[in-house]
Structure 1
Amino acid sequence: MPKDLVLITGVTGHVGFRVLRYALEHGLAVRAAVRSQAKAQAVRSYPSLKGLDKDHLLEFVTVPDFTASGAFDNAVANVKYIIHCASPIPFASPTTDDAERDFVAPAVLTTLGILESARRVETVRRIVITSSCIAIAPVAAAVSDTGETYTAETRQPDLDAPLPPGTPSFVAYAAGKVAALNRAEAWIQTERPRFDAIHLMPSYVLGRIDMCDSLERLQTSANSFPLDIVLGHDGGEGGMAMVVNHVDDCARIHVEALNPRIEGNQSFIIDYNLSSKVEWDEAKDIVAKHFPVAVNFDVLPNNSTLKSVCCRLESSKTEKTFGFRQSYESAVVDLVQQYLELREMQKGASNGVDS
């Protein structure tokens, strides 16, 4: 049994898979929680993971229902650290008919369930939880300049419930993230477990999606914002908060947050806290610079626009503690490179069928 075993949830997702990769790349022994053996096989066999030659450091545990009482009791056995990335995502459909069922309950029950299971064993020392900047900033801050500055210590009250049918999925997602953060912190304050917790609050996470084999999935994430610009899709009249981070930085910070030198029971915003914020539309200059042939041949029309809304996230504490190594430019380059690769792959598959 490895000395410092790490349990990771959400490994089939954008952030979770990259966290898994980063942990294995740096020699950590990982137990990945998945809902089925089929998902375990899909993760284990993915080329970017197989190429690491770290299979001896990876094991899986099946948890069919993350929200069930005691769901993680077996998963936490002999675990020292937990990185909880699993979460409903708001990009699958624009609205939800049941916000509580689709977003709020899964976010709260899964987080509290992990905390409860961890309390039942003596080995767990730290839990890193993926929250979101929308847990500390109001929903209005995603589309308008509120004039406020939000720090890792800012907290929002739970959104009024129940949310009606037809609620935008992003609002329901925000409700789940606010509730999960508030409940988890209240639980820790009341129960005072032997372990501590660190909440990480990413802004929009951009960059290559490892477990992605279709253009459709690539565009059902925050990546859709810069992709719409370079693909010439109508950005609409509204704007979007320009708060971003690269998935590589996001994953690295998740793993580095396990380091005991970092004081527990605190929170960090993961956002590029630039003195002069970049704009969404800078994606066009980035693409013209790095992919001129694709632009010239109209593979990338590179002619749409998305208004950048100012949202003030104070992440200097994160920069001081962990540092940032990537940029909006590197995220756009990685994303567009993957788009072009998938486009060629799907084009080749289509040609093969036609022939």
Structure 2
Amino acid sequence: MTTAKVLLTGINGYIGSHILDVLLSHGLSVRGVVRSETKATQVRSDFPDAGSRLDFAIVPDITGPGAYDNALRESDPPIRYIIHTASPLNYSSGKTVADFVEPAVQGTLEILKATASHGHDVARVVITGSFSAIGNPVDMQGGGKTYTSHDWNPVTVEQINAENPRLAYWASKTLAERAAWDFMKQAAPAFDIAVLNPPMVHGPLRHSVKSIKELNVTTNNIWRDFLSVTPDAPLPAEWVHADIDVRDLADAHYRALFSSASANRRYLVTRGRICNQEIADILRESLPEARDRIPLGKPGSSSFPPNAFDVDGGEAVADLGLTFRSAAETFHDLGKQLLEIHRRSEGS
């Protein structure tokens, strides 16, 4: 296994950097896909001990025809596995339906097409999907519905519009995953795929950021709503009240590469539900020096909405042998890091 090489897209991102950490810790070689030499240099700086086990392919546009062709060529050892985490669009930058849907679908199809054409040694492609392809954003709670790996977001392109970016984003994730499964059915390539669909992803950063402004969306939400307000500030409204630690998600990707059970399977990967009151309570308990920045709410109570949905990630646990960090560890580690990033960027 130590001679296997993994092609990892999105290597410089929040999730991708943690996956790289796990892969390197298990002795694997990695080729990272980045959009520029500058990003490659940053990854090397973040992982100075990787040495010759880390190289890069520069792909400025991951949605273009043949985008990944060169990335799969001339590799020693040959690329045996692919983990596709790259997302062509930031949630906040979409302006039209096409902005969301077309890049998401094409970004997924291009990696599969390139693998079928040039990845002759590839055995499996693990795709980072999203709970957005599972939950129903029109009726999220569903009368207390329990979501599993077998559920699909029912929203169609006809239901979305540019005035509702959340709905467009969720539909794009769904359509991208469906396109992947359609490709596998129609092309019948030699490799198989596994899709991991996490809900909210929390936990500390593994890649370098210089300021709060460089945080990814979900991590910035924790800073904005829980660590830069006042005790009397209202808790944010509940939305996707289920999560996973980013470090556990990275481990799930590694395990999905080699598990025979995960061939051509999709998984909801989550440790379970968590409400915003719980997050506030954890942060106030574990970071007493920052209590004047954290909303108080009603400590010890539940902020789940009536008939709140539940999640069951049991299939991923059984097939991949997953264990999960506690929410206390996740939010302590993230909160402490965010406060340090803020102090450093503010020069205090």
In which range does the TM-score fall when normalised by the shorter chain?
Answer: 0.7 to 0.9
Kept in 2, the 8 Å contact 1:7–1:30? The answer is yes
Which of 201, 208, 213 is equivalent to 2:210? Answer: 213
- Distance of 2:262 and 2:226 partners within structure 1: 40
- Distance of 1:45 and 1:73 partners within structure 2: 26
Kept in 1, the 8 Å contact 2:227–2:290? The answer is no
Q: What are the ranges of 5 or more consecutive residues in structure 1 without an aligned counterpart?
A: none
Q: Deviations over 1:176-218 (max 9, x none)?
A: 1100111110110111111000000001000112232212333
- Distance of 1:18 and 1:84 partners within structure 2: 13
C-alpha displacement of 1:219: 6.7
Residue of structure 2 in register with 1:133 after alignment: 131
- Distance of 2:337 and 2:196 partners within structure 1: 26
Q: Could you say if the C-alpha distance between residues 223 and 140 of structure 1 is closer, same or farther in structure 2, counting changes exceeding 3 Å?
A: farther
Which of 283, 286, 292 is equivalent to 1:287? Answer: 283
Which of 219, 232, 240 is equivalent to 2:229? Answer: 232
Kept in 2, the 8 Å contact 1:207–1:331? The answer is yes
Q: Could you say if the C-alpha distance between residues 308 and 14 of structure 1 is closer, same or farther in structure 2, counting changes exceeding 3 Å?
A: farther
- Distance of 2:238 and 2:345 partners within structure 1: 32
- Distance of 1:141 and 1:27 partners within structure 2: 44
- Distance of 1:219 and 1:186 partners within structure 2: 30
Residue of structure 2 in register with 1:119 after alignment: 116
Q: Deviations over 1:249-288 (max 9, x none)?
A: 0111011111143340001111113xxx442211232223
Is residue 97 from structure 1 mapped to residue 90 from structure 2 by the alignment?
no
SS in 1 for 2:260: coil
SS in 1 for 2:92: coil
Residue of structure 1 in register with 2:341 after alignment: 342
C-alpha displacement of 1:332: 0.8
C-alpha displacement of 1:327: 2.1
Is residue 171 from structure 1 mapped to residue 167 from structure 2 by the alignment?
yes
Which of 291, 296, 306 is equivalent to 1:303? Answer: 296
C-alpha displacement of 1:68: 0.8
Residue of structure 1 in register with 2:240 after alignment: 241
Mean Cα displacement is larger for which, 331-340 or 283-292?
Answer: 283-292
Kept in 2, the 8 Å contact 1:231–1:303? The answer is no
Map of 1:1-355 to 2, 5 A cutoff? Answer: 3-46=3-46, 49-50=47-48, 53-77=49-73, 78-88=78-88, 91-92=91-92, 96-101=94-99, 103-121=100-118, 122-142=120-140, 144-157=141-154, 159-161=156-158, 163-168=160-165, 170-211=166-207, 212-218=209-215, 220-222=217-219, 224-225=221-222, 228-232=225-229, 234-235=233-234, 238-273=237-272, 277-295=273-291, 298=292, 300-303=293-296, 307-309=303-305, 310-321=308-319, 322-348=321-347
- Distance of 1:115 and 1:269 partners within structure 2: 21
- Distance of 2:136 and 2:180 partners within structure 1: 19
Mean Cα displacement is larger for which, 282-291 or 68-77?
Answer: 282-291
- Distance of 1:301 and 1:241 partners within structure 2: 20
SS in 2 for 1:82: strand
Q: Normalising to structure 1: TM-score of the pair?
A: 0.86
- Distance of 2:181 and 2:277 partners within structure 1: 37
Q: Deviations over 1:210-245 (max 9, x none)?
A: 232212333732551475134337557743231111
- Over aligned residues, Cα RMSD in angstroms? 2.4
Identity %: 30
